[in-house]
């Protein structure tokens, strides 16, 4: 058996063992990052990278209640407030995710995030914050997934939206490497305003609204369709789309990081930030050498 296949299979077994430490009622569980897929670049040879996991759950209150009983030590001081407050913080602040970092499980250092199924579906369809939806546009390893067809359909729509957005931001001719995610055989030629307008109209609602906010002068109060028609005829259409995506991602990333100070606790936050800075520093040193 090829070594690469053996490593992939053993990785899957290890991930399922880790998943067994948590409550079972998870609609989707996936792993991502350098601990799952070896990455090129300055951090390719990082030793013992932390494993990143996301659990999607239908009922966050019930799930946290069970997880507190099984894994009380995973939580910061917020565990004293109970599962309802934890779920409220999860849903109402940041990007709708509750993270527990720096957890030892099956001999592996892990970080896991919990998000409500409905919250994730809404983000996949509408790009409310592109936090987990953005992660699912990149390579991930699905560890567990139930037969929720609405969720599966939303995941497909998210990928199609990512392709459409990438094509709008790219020049008329591009290679596969120019796309944020690898899409085999994709090409476009002779972009027209009509074609770009059609693509703009298929973008997630929140991205359309952000583009409208960027392009709509004070006092005009144009509807979204009118703005998108103007953008479709603008030579800088791709730059406008890029600004719209940035205006979604930046606030959610900042607020999610701020929330991490409370959900992880100060001590874990300092350790986690130190690991991140150390990783960045090693990358800079390799680039300089």
> Phi and psi at residue 101, in whole multiples of 5°?
-100, 170
- Choice among 110-119, 121-130, 157-166, 277-286 with the minimum mean pLDDT: 277-286
Is a pLDDT exceeding 80 seen at residue 11?
no
Q: How confident is the model at residue 255 (pLDDT cuts 50, 70, 90)?
A: low
Following DSSP, what letter does each residue of 132-179 receive, concatenated? HHHHTTS--EEEEE---HHHHHHHHHHHHHHHHHHHHHS-SS--GGGS
Among 117, 75, 42, residue whose Cα is nearest residue 267: 75
181-210 residues labelled b (16+ CB within 10 A) or e (exposed)? eeeeeeeeeebeeeebbebbeebbebbbbb
List the chain domain ranges.
172-248
Instruction: Determine whether 73 is exposed, middle or buried from the number of CB atoms within 10 Å of its CB (0-12, 13-18, 19+).
Output: exposed
Tell if the pTM clears 0.85, that is, is over it: no
32 bridge partner residues: 52
Work out the widest C-alpha separation in the chain, in whole angstroms: 67
In this structure, are residues 189 and 174 in contact, taking their beta carbons and an 8 Å threshold? no
Model confidence pLDDT, tens digit, residues 93-145: 878 999 898 899 999 999 899 999 999 999 999 989 888 988 888 888 999 99
Q: What is the pLDDT of residue 49?
A: 78
Question: Alpha-carbon Rg of the chain, whole angstroms?
Answer: 21
**Which range scores top for mean pLDDT: 4-8, 190-194, 241-245?**
241-245
The span from the CA of 134 to the CA of 218, in Å, is 31
The span from the CA of 26 to the CA of 118, in Å, is 13
pLDDT, mean over the chain: 79
């Amino acid at each position: 058996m090829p070594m690469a296949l053996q490593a992939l299979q053993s990785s899957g077994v290890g991930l399922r063992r880790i998943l067994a430490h948590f409550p079972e009622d998870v609609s989707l569980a996936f792993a991502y990052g350098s601990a799952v897929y070896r990455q090129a670049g300055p951090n390719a040879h990082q030793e013992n990278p932390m494993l990143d996991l996301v659990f999607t759950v239908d009922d966050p209150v019930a799930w946290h209640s069970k997880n507190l009983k099984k894994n009380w030590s995973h939580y910061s001081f917020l565990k004293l407030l109970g599962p309802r407050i934890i779920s409220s913080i999860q849903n109402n602040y940041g990007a709708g995710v509750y993270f527990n970092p720096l957890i030892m499980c099956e001999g592996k250092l892990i970080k896991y995030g919990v998000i409500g199924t409905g919250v994730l579906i809404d983000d996949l369809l509408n790009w409310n914050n592109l936090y987990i939806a953005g992660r699912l546009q990149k390579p991930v390893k699905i560890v567990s997934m139930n037969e929720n067809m609405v969720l599966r359909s939303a995941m497909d729509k998210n990928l199609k939206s990512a392709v459409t957005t990438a094509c709008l931001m790219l020049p008329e001719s591009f290679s596969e490497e120019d796309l944020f995610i690898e899409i085999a055989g994709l090409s476009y030629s002779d972009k027209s305003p009509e074609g770009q307008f059609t693509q703009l109209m298929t973008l997630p609602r929140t991205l359309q609204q952000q583009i409208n906010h960027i392009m709509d002068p004070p006092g005009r109060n144009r509807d979204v369709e009118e703005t998108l028609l103007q953008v479709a005829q603008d030579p800088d259409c791709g730059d406008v789309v890029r600004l719209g995506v940035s205006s979604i991602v930046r606030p959610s990333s900042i607020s999610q990081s701020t929330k991490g100070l409370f959900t992880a606790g100060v001590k874990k936050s300092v350790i986690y930030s130190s690991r991140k800075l150390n990783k960045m520093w090693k990358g800079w040193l390799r680039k300089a050498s």
